[in-house]
Amino acid sequence: MPFVKVKDGAEIFYKDQGKGQPVLFCHGWPLSGDAWEPSIVHMAKHGFRAVAHDRRSHGRSSQTWDGNDMDTYADDLNTLIEHLDLRDIILVGHSTGGGEAAHYVGRHGSGRVAGVVLVGAVPPRMVKSEKYPKGLDLSAMDGIRKGVFDDRAQFYEDLSLPFFGYNREGAKVSVGARKDFWRQGMLGGLKGQLDCIHEFSEVDYGPDLEKIDVPFLWIHGTDDQIVPIDAAARTGIHMVKSGDKELKEYEGAPHGLVVTHQDRFNDDLLAFAKKIAK
């Protein structure tokens, strides 16, 4: 399996399929690059090179004690980009991966990036502060930390319900999607996943959004129970400096809309990619 070794010796797993302009996918917590499989196939079938990695301490990548922070995630991503010599990247990030994508641009610039797509993404900041009054209470994150530490397997099984909106009346529940969410979550390491809770909730990605100067698309579900749209997309879109930016709201869609609204999302991603194709 393909791995790239980063500066501290950790090995980052990645998949690389198709040929053409690269689309680089950053996954959400606590998942892996497998979360993007249908989109990888869709983009590769339509003439793009689709790349997805497992963030350190997630999926098949090294489970490290140190380095489970957004600066290191962005540096790991930069090492992968340089290793594969990716240029004119369409950078796509879901949830925590949205923070990773934004922070990559904020930390390493947009020289290799042609466009950015955030999906149900955590920027600018999930936890409430004076600067971000629409955020969630820190106690909610403390509850996540306790649930993950005390009984991670049960916590991830329970989390899959609101993640996909399966707890809503009339929802068509996919048992398979819930099992796959659990499978991906349990592949990762406990220490790294606990550390990552701070990174997706308490880091301020506002300065990173302000540095995005390439075509930009934000997709977010209006019924996202994990990353509420008011605190995220509806706030963050105004911070992006790009003159070519758009927010697409999926009415009634949950956090896991990449799965529940798979065809619509893939069509929107492909249309954006074709619009900015090099």
pLDDT in tens, the chain (278 residues): 799 999 999 999 999 999 999 999 999 999 999 999 999 999 999 999 999 999 999 999 999 999 999 999 999 999 999 999 999 999 999 999 999 999 999 999 999 999 999 999 999 999 999 999 999 999 999 999 999 999 999 999 999 999 999 999 999 999 999 999 999 999 999 999 999 999 999 999 999 999 999 999 999 999 999 999 999 999 999 999 999 999 999 999 999 999 999 999 999 999 999 999 98
Q: Which of 16, 75, 195, 224 is catalytic?
A: 224
Q: Dump pLDDT digits (tens) for 157-189.
A: 999 999 999 999 999 999 999 999 999 999 999
Asked whether the beta carbons of 163 and 181 are under 8 A apart, the reply is yes
DSSP classification of residue 103: H
Active site residue 110: no
Side chain identity, residue 73:
Y
CATH number for the domain running over 3-275: 3.40.50.1820
Tracing tokens 């680089």 back to the chain, one arrives at 24
Q: Interhelix angle for 138-163 vs 175-187, to 10°? A: 130
**pTM as predicted:** 0.98
- Mean pLDDT, rounded, of the chain: 98
Using a CB cutoff of 8 Å and minimum separation of 24, what contacts does 172-177 make?
A: 174/259, 177/256, 177/259
Active site residue 95: yes
Q: Which of 32, 61, 95, 110 is catalytic?
A: 95
Q: How far apart are the first and last CA of the chain?
A: 29
**What is d(CA 274, CA 278) in angstroms, rounded to the nearest whole number?**
9
Q: Which of 27, 42, 255, 261 is catalytic?
A: 255
CB burial of residue 178 (10 Å; 0-12, 13-18, 19+):
buried
Active site residue 255: yes
